[in-house]
């Protein structure tokens, strides 16, 4: 965690050092989120739940085709579990700060971009909904240190790719690989991590 936070701080220092006039943009789209749980040598993944994401970003040019791109996103995560007629849908929402190093490949229509970097996310709210036949129940998710809570902080790696058109229109995909355990079950052997694949559109001003 400390190394990830240090990387983000270094990226912000680099943007201030090498570039003073960024360009700005907005993005929004749909997320397909799942949870990966491991216990020793056993690892399982939930099905995906559909959430959404929206946010702002800045692009600092640090090379001919290279930018550093910090962002501030409201993004949904979670997972879906189905077993013998019972379904449990988990949705959690975070305020997420990724910092990506992005390489832009010139093309006739604009650019193709590829980027990667760390992210830190802070849990805001969430809900778990269970369905068994005709019966449905839901409960709010809380973030904290209790055994029933989710941990407040999630951190990991983020990758992005997409198309940037000359008009400023953006079409992209992204993937979040959670590296921190978000569960509070008190066991050092059980680890639960976020996984998110997203599709987005946006506009760069």
pTM value?
0.86
**What pLDDT, in 10s, does the model give residues 10-68?**
655 554 455 568 999 999 999 999 999 888 777 788 899 999 999 999 999 999 999 99
**Which has more pLDDT, 79 or 133?**
79
Q: For the chain, which residues make up each domain, given as ranges?
A: 2-204
Q: How many helices (H) and strands (E) does the chain have?
A: 1, 10
Q: What is the pLDDT of residues 168-178, one digit of tens each?
A: 999 999 999 99
142-147 contacts at long range (C-beta below 8 A, 24 or more positions apart): 144/184, 145/184, 146/184, 147/184, 147/185, 147/186
Q: Name which CATH class applies to 2-204.
A: mainly beta
């Amino acid at each position: 965690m400390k190394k990830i936070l240090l990387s983000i701080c270094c990226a912000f220092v680099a943007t201030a050092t090498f570039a003073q006039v960024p360009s700005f943009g907005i993005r929004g789209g749909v997320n397909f989120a799942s949870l990966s749980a491991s216990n020793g040598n056993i690892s399982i993944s939930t099905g995906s739940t559909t959430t959404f994401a929206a946010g702002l970003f800045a692009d600092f040019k640090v090379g001919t085709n290279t930018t550093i791109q910090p962002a501030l996103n409201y993004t949904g995560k979670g997972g879906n579990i189905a077993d013998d007629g019972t379904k449990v849908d988990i949705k959690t929402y975070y305020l997420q700060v990724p910092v990506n190093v992005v390489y832009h490949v010139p093309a006739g229509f604009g650019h193709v971009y590829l980027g990667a970097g760390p992210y830190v996310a802070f849990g805001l709210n969430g809900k778990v909904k269970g369905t068994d036949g005709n019966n449905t129940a839901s409960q709010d998710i809380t973030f904290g240190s209790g055994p029933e809570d989710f941990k407040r902080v999630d951190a990991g790696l983020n990758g992005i790719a997409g198309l940037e058109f000359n008009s400023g229109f953006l079409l992209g995909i992204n993937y979040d690989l959670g590296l921190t355990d978000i569960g509070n079950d008190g066991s050092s052997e059980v680890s639960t991590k976020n996984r998110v694949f997203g599709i987005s559109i946006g506009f760069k001003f």
